[in-house]
Structure 1
Amino acid sequence: MDHIETSALETKSVGHNADISAAFDEFMGAFSAFKEANDERLKNVEKHVGTDVLMTEKVDRINRALDEQKQAMDHMVLKQARPTLGGQLPIINGEHKNAFQNYVRKGDEQNLRAIELKAHSYGSGPDGGYLVPAELETEIGRRLSVLSPIRSLATVRQVSGAVLKKPFSVSGPATGWVSETAVRPQTNSAQLAEMQFPTMEIYAMPAATSSLLDDAAVDIEQWISAEVEAAFAEQESAAFINGDGVNKPKGFLNYDTVDEANWTWGKLGTVATGTAGALPATDSSDVLIELIYSLKAGYRQNANFVMNRKTQSALRKLKDNDGQYLWQPPATIGDKASFMGFGLVEAEDMPDIDEDKTPIAFGDLSRGYLVVDRAGIRVLRDPYSAKPYVLFYTTKRVGGGVQDFDAIKLLKFSV
């Protein structure tokens, strides 16, 4: 029997991999069709034949199909990475795991209360719920790093307090060369800026039926993880980009900006396209090259472009002087697409191309942006507010903000 079940699982896994491979092949075929159609459109423009409406519509249609296929393929890769509801997490603390299961399924909080008393982290159900087992917290964090585009790029720190205070050297100490026997001059002190990253509460409230909770075949921890991870990732992604810092992290687009020629600490540098709401009509790639080289060499090594799907769709049509497309599809399943040789990360909360907007960010976000997680995810069981459903008020505390203002540059669509 075990052999039959194992074979079935292996067959299912192989079948899913075949589906992803087929989707990848279909995506690459669509990109070839896009290049062929766009090349024909550009030839007509160069010959001054005029705009072929049907050809333009064809290019746009294939372009949209590319976005949809890439999104579907990414979803399949994520689905493969997610453990099934019947799967088991590694048991790190069996006592905590069993107590949490009894609390979620039956509302029995006695054992959880005893565990948290022993851990000196007591929290009653009515006041805010109970901490999830450590392995479940780790699983949710791992999944968020995959689902949340900015979190996947940024530096993530876990803290036990409400605020992370971090000193940052704005300008290092003076240095120089001296001979072996010369007197060593005293160096100037480094200029330090204290940066504070408070954590804010984010919540999700999945609902379950009594039959789901009574079904012993369902791993209830995996169910909670699957329910809350998408909600957390969606809220985080929006906050890390556009958050105003009030009861949420501060997004990097919410900081003051200044033209790169006048850049100062505390602001993000911008490069203007020279055309309001658009790239230049000719030599469009020049401003993108300028954006890339506005970033210091040390940051460029690990830099990525960040933009939404509509912006990516517009840039996909661009070529360099040798006729090569600047946008290139991922080399293998699960990889990122690339643009001008750098990784391209799709973040739907980036603004669309418009006048005076900054829809394209470029930089090393691992050095530029800091995500702060406060240890502990809490679940409060509520069987009363939405009878006959049981609600699970799940909360975690997250903060974020720019930590190095020299590591992120923005392309501004303005004169």
Structure 2
Amino acid sequence: MRTSQVAPETKSDGGYAALADTFDEFMTTFAEFRDSNDRRLREIETRKGADVVTTEKVDRISDALDRQKQVLDNLALKRVRPALGGRDDALSVADVERKQAFDSYMRSGDERALRSLETKDMSYGSGPDGGYLVPDEVEAEIGRRLASISPIRSIASVTQVSSAVLKKPFMVSGPVTGWVGETAARPKTGSPSLDALQFPAAEIYAMPAATPSLLEDAVVNLDQWIVGEVEAAFAEQEGKAFVDGDGVNMPRGFLDYDREPEADWAWGRIGYLATGAAGAFPAENPADRLIDTIYALKAGYRQNASWVMNRKSQAAIRKMKDADGNYLWQPPATAGSRAMLMGFPVVEAEDMPDIANDATPIAFGDFQRGYLVVDRAGVRVLRDPYSAKPYVLFYVTKRVGGGVQDFNAIKLLKFGVA
């Protein structure tokens, strides 16, 4: 098996050559995986068991596929990232003034201009309250980066609010309806029963550090630096909370809600189907459980549905075939796109649990309709030159919440007898 090599990124091609070479390497590795796994399956059929060497080779190539896919995703992300902090003449006078004031605060701690602007704007951000608001373009760029690298955020519905809690009404029971003739009287219908889902925004933070020399270097774009430093930290914390957060000072993850067998499902709970085997797929026709999970969703939700699982679960499914001998898992069609499972995209979320008895490591659904991410407007930065001398710490905070908004839209596959 060839080792993955990434071509150096050049300014002329914007990294396209590296992306293309890595994608070709990934497809070559997948072809080798397919051939080795076919050999393993033939050995099982003829010898009632696969050769140990063959099994180890399949697992080794599968791990290589995971690593190459991660490199591929990172290269694709770098290519689509827009430059931050363009020409000042593209901004309004007010934007330029605020950007210059923020830059002065970041580099030297001079907050006079920034305090004056925020007092004039009657902003809730201030030094004693925990920092100053970053410029709008920096906040927007953080949001774009998170949407690209945070697995659940990338497929969920995202809304921005100015209050601490978003209350979203929903119908417990719909209005009474009926058929009438064109000229017949319209009798009064019953009133719908309404309730409200609440999505409080909790604080998430990161604390990057900078050296005085970096801050004094006028060539360094501090806007770009702060975005790059916090994106991974925010995405990692968000990703876990959106999956299994308990809703206490954090978003509530979709795995934290009560679960119900699909046959007994009721609003307010997440429906699941069982594999029928403890901690595993059934020995015969394991793909049938995936098909059952797909069709547990109503037709209107399947059109935009995705699979959500971690790489270990994906590796287990990667070896499966359908009744016609076709692999259920298919590699991305192009660099930067998602792998497909039975015609639906696979979203890799490492915070999903591993396959184990009574665990629910695989989710399927329309997360745009099913899960809501709530961002409170405003990202704040507090400069701290004292706590870690000679380094300068930047305490960056934003408020985010989340939870299930449509319990029809998400189904789980439980690895258990019932």
Q: Tell me, yes or no, whether TM beats 0.5.
A: yes
Identity %: 66
The alpha-carbon deviation at position 78 of structure 1 amounts to 1.6
AA of the residue aligned to 1:132: V
The alpha-carbon deviation at position 88 of structure 1 amounts to 6.2
Cα deviations across residues 352-395 of structure 1 (Å, max 9, x unaligned)? 00000000000000000000000000000000000000000000
Q: Which runs of 5+ in 2 are unaligned?
A: 1-8
AA of the residue aligned to 2:350: E
Cα deviations across residues 302-349 of structure 1 (Å, max 9, x unaligned)? 000000000000000111111111100111111011101001100000
TM-score norm. by structure 1 comes to 0.95
Of the candidates 241, 265, 268, which is equivalent to residue 266 of structure 1? Answer: 268
**Residue in structure 1 matched with residue 91 of structure 2 by the alignment:** 91
Q: Which SS does the other structure have where 1:377 is aligned?
A: strand
AA of the residue aligned to 1:115: L
**Residue in structure 1 matched with residue 24 of structure 2 by the alignment:** 25
AA of the residue aligned to 2:144: R
Q: Does the CA contact (< 8 Å) of 1:380 and 1:394 recur in 2?
A: yes
Return 77-86 or 157-166, whichever deviates more. 77-86
Aligned pairs for 1:11-410 within 5 A: 11-14=10-13, 16-83=15-82, 91-92=91-92, 93-410=95-412
Q: Which runs of 5+ in 1 are unaligned?
A: 1-9
Provide the rounded CA distance (Å) in 2 between the counterparts of 1:196 and 1:111.
38
Q: Does the CA contact (< 8 Å) of 1:86 and 1:218 recur in 2?
A: no
Provide the rounded CA distance (Å) in 1 between the counterparts of 2:10 and 2:162.
44
Q: Does the CA contact (< 8 Å) of 1:382 and 1:390 recur in 2?
A: yes
Provide the rounded CA distance (Å) in 1 between the counterparts of 2:153 and 2:301.
18
AA of the residue aligned to 2:299: A
Cα deviations across residues 51-110 of structure 1 (Å, max 9, x unaligned)? 200000011111010000000111111222335688668635101100000000010100
Q: Which SS does the other structure have where 1:175 is aligned?
A: coil
Which 4+ runs in 1 deviate beyond 4 A? 83-90
Q: Does the CA contact (< 8 Å) of 2:76 and 2:336 recur in 1?
A: yes
Provide the rounded CA distance (Å) in 1 between the counterparts of 2:10 and 2:19.
14
Return 85-94 or 296-305, whichever deviates more. 85-94
AA of the residue aligned to 1:53: V
AA of the residue aligned to 2:352: M
**Residue in structure 1 matched with residue 3 of structure 2 by the alignment:** none
Q: Does the CA contact (< 8 Å) of 1:85 and 1:223 recur in 2?
A: no
Provide the rounded CA distance (Å) in 2 between the counterparts of 1:52 and 1:259.
38
AA of the residue aligned to 1:212: L
Q: Does the CA contact (< 8 Å) of 1:132 and 1:377 recur in 2?
A: yes
Provide the rounded CA distance (Å) in 1 between the counterparts of 2:134 and 2:232.
18
Q: Does the CA contact (< 8 Å) of 1:85 and 1:218 recur in 2?
A: no
The alpha-carbon deviation at position 181 of structure 1 amounts to 2.5
Provide the rounded CA distance (Å) in 2 between the counterparts of 1:283 and 1:19.
40
Provide the rounded CA distance (Å) in 1 between the counterparts of 2:202 and 2:407.
22
Q: Does the CA contact (< 8 Å) of 2:261 and 2:272 recur in 1?
A: yes
Aligned pairs for 1:3-14 within 5 A: 11-14=10-13
TM-score norm. by structure 2 comes to 0.94
Q: Which SS does the other structure have where 1:14 is aligned?
A: coil
RMSD: 1.5
User: Paired residues, what number?
Assistant: 406
Q: Does the CA contact (< 8 Å) of 2:139 and 2:379 recur in 1?
A: yes
